Amino acid sequence: MVATANPVVEAETTAGTNDSFATREMLPAGTTHVLGSLVIGADLEASDYQFSGQLAPDEADFYTIPNLPPNQPFYAWTDNSNSGIDTVMGTFNGDQLLQVDDDGAPVGNGLASAVGGTVNPDGTIRIGVSGFPDFSFDGMADPPPSFPGDPLPSSNFTPQGGDYSVYLQLGTSSPMDIDVETADYTFAETLIPGNVDVITLDDLPAGESFVVWIDNSDSGVDTMLGWFDATGDMVDFNDDGSPLGNGLGSILVGEVADDGSLEFRVTLFPDFDFTGEYTGRMPEMPSFEPRPHGVAGEYDLYVKLGIDSLPGDVDFYTFPGLQPGSEFVAEVTLANFDPMLGWFDDQGQLITVDDDGGEGVYPRLVGTVPSSGQVTLAVTSFADFEFDGSHQAVSDYVLRFDAPTR
């Protein structure tokens, strides 16, 4: 018979431990939905060092940890849960900046930072914490330095479009304060490949602070959001900063222009030029006016020795009691990250993997139930093609499974 709706919540006893084929979770027969969660793959409570800081709007804070074994790996992160401030973090060897991060922390509101590295040859770890966009750690706003990032798609890449919503909230510059229910402006749009959507607002209070963000929950579309002035020059842009959706929506913070106008453009990644062409070419950003970074608030800094990145979580599930030879369909239907789905045979060998075969960035697999009458699937995040936790996504998800049962 065909299984009826039977949602199963990933067991608390296996969440974070069903991360291999050997430790897979055996689901009840007839399960059609799994409400799962990718969790942090390390115990963040067991940090080796903790500092509490109060960031001033025109300063950067520095911390030095001495007397450590040279070349030992470490991982450091800020937690901005109490203030919601947008931190930037860097590692240093003396005065030389080694690595910088803006929004990579696994805790906080999405604007906290995290870096990994190794202890300096002199046995020290030196960390700087400042406010966005102070990437030079001198208390002043400046453009980000050039550090290697994820590889961009090929030049003939065409992204998938989809529905999205844009929200604008006036009177705040903190993403912690935004609320779709109290947003001043809301726009429901559909982004088509090759097109760039333009949103223009007039008669706004000059100098008023604002937050504009995208919710891509309906489609998972990978957006880019640009802010342009009255002459058509780009003021700022963002790719994946939105706290809503699957992690691929965008967000910007700023102040209304002197003429009371705002213009935003929405396009698909990687259209950095906002032309509807997906070249992956980074835009030339306007120079920053010399000014303090302006971020003020409290934060906590944690340092954990022995690791230089957080191991990611992978969830393995076995669906038993199925009709051999019948077709099954498996897909992730909701997630706040870019999920991937793998199908494994009864010996734990990977049969196939899918990334974006479903709606938007969601994966979908179709296959034939083997003679054993069970199917083993694994959920991870892009780009963990080996299903070994090589990612840092932390989020809930819904896995749907459909197949005839015995």
CA dist 107 and 91 (Å) reads: 19
Q: Say how many domains are in the chain.
A: 3
CA distance 32 to 312: 25
Task: Check residue 10 and give its pLDDT.
Answer: 47
246 and 327 co-located in one domain: no
97, 73: one domain: yes
Strands (DSSP E) found in 256-394: 262-268, 297-305, 315-319, 327-335, 339-344, 350-354, 364-368, 375-381
User: Contact, 72 vs 98, CB < 8 A?
Assistant: no
Same domain, 100 and 189: no
pLDDT at 153: 52
**How big, in percent rounded to 5, are the helix, strand and coil portions of the chain?**
0, 40, 60
Q: Is the dihedral of CA 314, 391, 354, 250 positive or negative?
A: positive
DSSP string over 231-243: TS-EEEEESS--S
In a domain, 289, yes or no: no
CA distance 349 to 94: 47
Is the same domain home to 58 and 85? yes
Q: In this structure, is residue 153 part of a structural domain? A: no
Q: Are residues 82 and 23 in the same domain?
A: no
Q: Which of 305, 332, 358 is the last residue of a domain?
A: 305
Domain assignment present for residue 282? The answer is no
Structure tokens at 53: 């800081």
- For residues 129 and 194, membership in a common domain is answered with no
Asked if residue 277 is part of any domain, the answer here is no
Could you tell me if 78 and 71 are in contact, meaning their C-beta atoms sit under 8 angstroms apart? no
Enclosing domain of residue 52: 44-143+295-305
Biggest CA-to-CA distance, the chain: 70
Amino acid at 154: S
Residues 6+ apart with CB under 8 A from 87: 55, 78, 80, 102, 105, 111, 112, 113, 129, 130, 131, 132, 295, 299
* Cα dist from 14 to 121, 141, 317, 326, whole Å: 40, 45, 10, 29
Looking at the domain assignment, is residue 54 inside a domain? yes
Domain check: are 49 and 130 in the same one? yes
Q: Apex CA 314: angle with CA 313 and CA 318, to 5°?
A: 145
Supply 401's token pair: 């499974």
Q: Are residues 73 and 137 in the same domain?
A: yes
Rg (alpha carbons) of the chain, rounded to whole number? 23
The pLDDT of residue 117: 93
How does strand 49-55 pair with strand 114-118? unpaired
Confirm if 295 and 132 have CB atoms less than 8 A apart. Answer: yes
The Cα 336–Cα 383 span in angstroms is 15
**Long-range contacts formed by 269-276: CB under 8 A, 24+ apart:** 269/159, 269/222, 269/223, 269/224, 269/239, 270/152, 270/153, 270/157, 270/159, 270/224, 271/196, 271/224, 272/224, 272/237, 274/196, 274/224, 274/226, 274/234, 274/237, 275/196, 276/194, 276/195, 276/196
* Three-class DSSP labels, 36-86: EEECCCCCHHHCCEEEEEEECCCCCEEEEECCCCCCCEEEEEEECCCCCCC
Is 2 a member of any domain? no
> Looking at the structure, do residues 173 and 263 belong to the same domain, yes or no?
yes
Q: Which of 283, 305, 327 is the last residue of a domain?
A: 305
Return per-residue pLDDT of the chain as tens, 406 residues. Answer: 233 344 555 444 445 578 889 999 999 988 888 888 887 766 666 789 999 999 999 999 999 999 999 999 999 999 988 888 889 999 999 999 999 998 778 777 778 898 999 999 999 999 999 998 888 999 988 654 444 444 455 555 667 888 999 999 999 877 767 888 889 999 999 999 999 999 999 999 999 999 999 998 888 888 999 999 999 988 888 887 787 877 788 888 889 999 999 999 999 988 888 998 887 665 555 555 567 878 889 999 999 999 887 778 899 999 999 999 999 999 998 887 889 999 999 999 999 999 888 887 889 999 999 999 999 999 998 888 999 888 877 778 889 999 998 8
Same domain, 171 and 254: yes
Structural domain contains residue 288: no
CATH number of the domain bearing residue 73: 2.60.120.380
Same-domain check for residues 30 and 53: no
Boundary-marking domain end, from 305, 329, 362:
305
Q: Give the separation between CA 286 and CA 235, rounded to whole angstroms.
A: 7
Which two tokens mark 174? 């903190």
d(CA 50, CA 44) in angstroms, rounded, equals 11
The pLDDT, as a whole number, for residue 266 is 96
CB within 8 Å of 304: residues ≥ 6 apart = 42, 44, 46, 47, 48, 74, 75, 76
Same domain, 116 and 66: yes
Task: Say if 355 falls within a structural domain.
Answer: yes
